[in-house]
Amino acid sequence: MQYHSKIKKIAVMTSFMVLTSPGLSVAAGISNEDFTSWSQDVDGAGEPILDLNDFTIDTVNNVARIEADYWSVLGDTSSTANDEAWFASTLYQDIDLSASAGQDLVLSFDWNFSGQEASFDEYFLVALGDGFGNYYGADGNLGFLLNPLNYASGAYSIILDSSFANATGWTLEFQMNTGFDGYGSYAEIDNVSLEAVSKIAAVPEPSMLFLIMSGLIGLGRFRNTNKTAA
């Protein structure tokens, strides 16, 4: 019991030292928290042409908003609610996945997916792009980092698969896809970060030989105590 108690104390102290020691966590990959250097793409054709409301960048609060299917009433020129995309609007940035041995890549962001109607057909996704039109999840397989099925919000944080370490040509992409229900949806993104963080070394379990020796020592002490008592 005393041995296991010491092991637990060592594990807690090691974790605290790793998390609080300077230089063990370095910024990687994501630049410009205010989204000013991020690229915008409409319908796979590049930068917006009409400069409507598909993308709104709040540089004061460092929040980006992507929307789809907000349309003004036909003939109502006073409304500025029009969106440009017929298929999808994507906000993305090239990412630096540099990591040394013994480091994990941790990706984090806050998100809010909402809109005009609770029953919607637009959809929001977040993924890692390989530069060839393919999307991947954090596990290194085809898929998404995030693809909510309902309006929701949350804080996302995950360790990327080790196969991403030091890979090149990858982008982080936030995308709003259009629908056909006549109502609009939007996604807000905030606090995006990518860090190469030192791994917390696992405290090894006591070996079987150590346990056997500890048992024999304990048995010997038990016998000596009985002899003394006798």
Mean pLDDT rounded to a whole number for the chain: 79
Question: Which pLDDT tens digit goes with each residue over 43-53?
Answer: 999 999 988 88
Higher local confidence (pLDDT), 72 or 206: 72
> Half-sphere exposure of 225 toward its Cβ, with a 13 Å CA cutoff?
6
146 secondary structure, DSSP code: B
Look up residue 219 and give its two tokens: 């048995």
Q: Collapse the DSSP code of 211 into the 3-class scheme (helix H, G, I; strand E, B; otherwise coil) and give the result.
A: helix
pTM > 0.85: yes or no = no
Tell me the CATH number for domain 22-229.
Answer: 2.60.120
Residue of 133, 121, 60 whose CA lies nearest to 90? 133
The CA-to-CA distance between both ends of the chain, in Å, stands at 28
Q: What is the pLDDT of residue 214?
A: 53
Least confidently predicted of 17-26, 118-127, 151-160, 186-195: 17-26
Residue of 138, 128, 216, 108 whose CA lies nearest to 172? 128
Would you say residue 211 has pLDDT above 70? Answer: no
Residue of 158, 90, 95 whose CA lies nearest to 124? 90
Least confidently predicted of 47-56, 77-86, 105-114, 211-220: 211-220
* Chain CA centroid to CA 134, Å: 18
